[in-house]
Amino acid sequence: MAQHDDQRGGTAGTTPANANLLAGRYLMRQQVGSGGMGAVWLAEDTVIGRRVAIKEVRLPDGLPDAERAVFSERVLREARTAGRLTDAGIVTVYDVVFSGGLSYIVMEYVESRTLSEIVRDDGPLPARRVAEIAGQVLAALDAAHEAGVVHRDVKPSNILVQANGKVKLTDFGIAQAMDDPRLTTTGTLVGSPAFMAPERISDGSERSVTPASDLWSLGATLFHAVEGYPPFERANTAATLHAIMTEVPYLSNCSGPLAAVIIGLLNANPSGRLTSAQVRGLLARVSDQPTAATANTATPASGTVAPTMVAGSIGHPPTALYDRPPGALIAPEVKRRNRKRTGVLIAVVALLAAGAFVGGLFTGKSVGASQGVPSNWVAPLTYGSGGDIPDFELDQGKCGSGQVQAGRRFTSESAIDCGQPHDFEVYSSSDTFDTSEHIDYPGYDALAAYAQSWCSLDFNSKWVTEQDKDSALKYTAVVPSQGSWGSNQPTSSPSDGSSDSSGASDSASQPTTTDTQNLNRTVYCILFRTDSGQMSQ
């Protein structure tokens, strides 16, 4: 069994301190894991004849008797808690043994690696694999929450991934049964700091321990899987907790629905956090898209702060992390790859329109942050039939002349060579729903809010390389008008144009179709200079 404390060690063949045969039943074979609170053993249940894993809980020397009693009760609580959970995605606890002054938890043996070990050994994972792991962990959490149990320590080292792809959630040692008042630790933060939800830090009481806090921890875990490092881990615990409360993590390897999942789960406001059902819907849309720069991504070296967006402003990665190509405003590799992504909006537009994204989900803000818009952001215009701009056909990586303003047309012929002086650049774009889908227009406000968040993320990323961009550049977007989006109702297309005696078409029996030839549901992000001067590369 892979150990659950992010340390792998122990001496093969080592036996427990008190006996080789535990409780006259469990033959201890070898130590397979160790951590600050004890060790994990591979053992054999000689009565049933099956392999089991046994967690040996070791308490620090000199611990007062009262605290030892609390720890012993916690061991029993873990057994009681896990005993209520019978889901296939949760490691089963079989027995609890107290022997020689030590406590042992006998559990299902799972031959696996932890998610933490996988990321450490293999690097950041592709979107599809992360989504598959996320879906299974989510199902396990749903089962626990339905049984009235909050895990309280969801993290990569507590997620076991088997060779066949099956995932199990383990280590309910600090789990809280929501209806069990027998053991609480008032004033003590229980859990792993780097994966602890902000409400648990700010409140500190048991009432802050809810299913939503587990979901936040899942979001931090998924960030770790796609980026290769924990989103908030810093040099010490105090700095880590401060980062959780004041910063928003920056995703560089992930886009689309999986990015929506991670950002939505890391919402600092529990009431605005994604629900399990919303997460499942987004995960179902994750495609097997390559992660950006995966081959060159590694866990930041000691002392290096991972790029974050600081609360109170839409921050950006320090320029020292990314060298600016001479004379380039947008990194050239971005244009070569045409980094047009199937947007987070694929499922998020519907949630935005439904009011599900409250509390600053895509605002780049966290608890206590100002809710103002970035000073260099300009409100979007609409394009298409009935919009501010009748035509906008410049795709990502294209450049144009003149101001982007109401009444102007920008056809494909309007594009100019970005190596020549130009007035604006389309630096990012995001497809939303496919135009063949009959999806109601979400409204200008929802699209504008999405555009601000999407364009801000890319503007403040490594993709826009101008070193003084916060003062030298402004950015805006053009979003689909209702006419460009498409009619909320499909149009009737009778096959033979026949009418009844009243002249009405016999449409009831005819199929309905929507003309999608001239529809466009893409959001385009646009850069231009603050002083209205021209740009060149």
Q: What is the per-residue pLDDT across 167-201, written as a single tens digit (0 to 9) for each?
A: 999 987 555 544 443 334 444 445 588 999 999 88
CB distance 492 to 363 below 8 Å: no
In a domain, 404, yes or no: yes
Same domain, 163 and 145: yes
Q: Which amino acid is at 202?
A: S
3-state secondary structure of 150: strand
In a domain, 391, yes or no: yes
In tens, the pLDDT along 223-232 reads: 999 999 999 9
For position 81, what pLDDT does the model report? 75
CB distance 221 to 156 below 8 Å: yes
In a domain, 4, yes or no: no
Q: What is the pTM of this model?
A: 0.56
Please give the C-alpha separations between residue 175 and each of 25, 82, 197, in angstroms, as whole numbers. 28, 9, 14
Same domain, 101 and 46: yes
For position 103, what pLDDT does the model report? 86
Same domain, 219 and 160: yes
- Residue ending a domain, among 70, 93, 108, is 108
Same domain, 170 and 292: yes
In a domain, 6, yes or no: no
In angstroms, the CA 306 to CA 324 distance is 19
Same domain, 230 and 369: no
Same domain, 99 and 207: no
- Residue ending a domain, among 53, 85, 108, is 108
In a domain, 495, yes or no: no
For position 462, what pLDDT does the model report? 64
- Give the torsion sign (CA, 220, 223, 229, 233): negative
Q: Which of 153, 171, 391, 458 is catalytic?
A: 153
Residues in the chain: 537
Same domain, 323 and 379: yes
Residue-number span of the structural domain to which 214 is assigned: 113-177+192-306
In a domain, 131, yes or no: yes
Residues paired with 105 in a beta bridge: 55, 96
Same domain, 374 and 270: no
In angstroms, the CA 212 to CA 537 distance is 47
DSSP letter for each residue of 370-428: --PPPTTB---EEESTTSSBS-B---TT-EE-S---TT--B-GGG-B-TTS-BSEEEEE
Same domain, 90 and 132: no
Same domain, 441 and 468: yes
- CATH number of the domain at 28, please: 3.30.200.20
Query: Which of the residues in the chain have pLDDT under 70?
Result: 1-19, 35-37, 78, 173-191, 204-206, 287-372, 432-438, 461-462, 487-517, 537
Same domain, 227 and 277: yes
For position 435, what pLDDT does the model report? 57
In angstroms, the CA 190 to CA 78 distance is 14
Does the active-site annotation cover 87?
Answer: no
Q: Which amino acid is at 404?
A: V
Total domains in the chain come to 3
Same domain, 121 and 83: no
In a domain, 2, yes or no: no
In a domain, 8, yes or no: no
For position 411, what pLDDT does the model report? 93
For position 484, what pLDDT does the model report? 92
For position 341, what pLDDT does the model report? 38
- Residue ending a domain, among 90, 108, 126, is 108
For the chain, first and last CA: distance in Å?
Answer: 56
